[in-house]
């Protein structure tokens, strides 16, 4: 029998993506546009947090949104109703957004008219963590109904993010979610992770989230 040749496709793809992601960041720095990559499980509250963010900051910042979804355009339609420009990326089965997809979306946006772009990545805690989008910061949502053990099950996501929003805290009294245990598990993976608590239903903590984001944008602009 002949020798079997092994070709590591994933490593090659990730290497190419990393290079393009750096090009995307250079474009953002050149145009002074802060881009945030927001990730979460389906139903975690990504769209709700984006809508709250728009309402909190659109008086101060010019905002655009890149929506990633396997098929639907429902989230983009909600963003447009807020008077915010949106680009929909229909992945056609891919469970993540990558730098090539984001680069295409940016080509459809007038960067000179924007201060902040929020990416709503495809909903899951696995694939999006592996692909650098070129964003300036990575954010994730962990909702209370998902459980406090998710840092143990999806460590990479918690490792690569700069901030975690613990969403749906209005449900804490109805679950066995242990906020202290979750924070301790996150700290073991990522001691620098900023952890915020919020409820997109009641609005609690949204001001703290918006303040964090505004401070990051101000630091980026300087």
The CATH number of the domain holding residue 129 is 3.40.50.300
Residue 125 clears pLDDT 80, i.e. is over it:
yes
Residue 197: inside a domain: yes
Tens of pLDDT, residue by residue over 59-94, are 999 999 999 986 677 888 999 999 999 999 987 777
Region 21-47: what's the mean pLDDT?
A: 97
pTM for this model (two decimals): 0.93
Number of structural domains found in the chain? 1
- For residue 12, being part of any structural domain is answered with no
Question: For residue 176, what are the domain limits?
Answer: 31-221
Residue entry with tokens 């056609």? 92
Residue 35 lies in a domain: yes
pLDDT at 22 over 90: yes
Is 165 domain-assigned?
yes
- Let me know if residue 18 belongs to a domain: no
CA dist 73 to 47, 91, 98, 209, Å?
12, 11, 19, 26
* Residue 77 domain flag: yes
- Would strands 34-39 and 116-120 be described as parallel, antiparallel, or unpaired? parallel
| Confidence (pLDDT) at 9 | 47
| 6 located within any domain | no
25 inside domain: no
């Amino acid at each position: 029998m002949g020798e079997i040749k092994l070709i590591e496709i994933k490593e090659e793809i990730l290497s190419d993506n990393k290079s393009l992601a750096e090009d995307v960041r250079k474009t953002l720095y050149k145009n002074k546009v802060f881009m945030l990559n927001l990730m979460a499980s389906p139903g975690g509250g990504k769209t709700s947090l984006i809508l709250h963010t728009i309402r909190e900051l659109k008086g101060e910042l010019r905002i655009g949104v890149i929506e990633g979804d396997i098929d639907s355009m429902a989230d983009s339609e909600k963003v447009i109703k807020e008077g915010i420009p949106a680009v929909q990326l229909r992945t056609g089965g891919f469970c993540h957004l990558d730098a090539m997809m984001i680069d295409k979306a940016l080509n459809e946006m007038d960067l000179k008219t924007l201060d902040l772009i929020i990416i709503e990545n495809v909903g899951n805690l696995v694939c999006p963590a592996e692909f650098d989008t070129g964003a300036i910061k990575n954010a994730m949502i962990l909702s209370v109904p998902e459980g406090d053990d998710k840092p143990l099950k999806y460590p990479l996501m918690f490792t690569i993010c700069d901030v975690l929003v613990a969403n749906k805290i209005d449900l804490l009294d109805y679950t066995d979610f242990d906020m202290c245990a979750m924070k301790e598990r996150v700290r073991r993976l990522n001691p620098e992770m900023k952890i915020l608590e919020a409820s997109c239903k009641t609005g609690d903590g949204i001001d703290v989230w918006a303040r964090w984001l505004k401070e990051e944008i101000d630091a980026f602009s300087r």
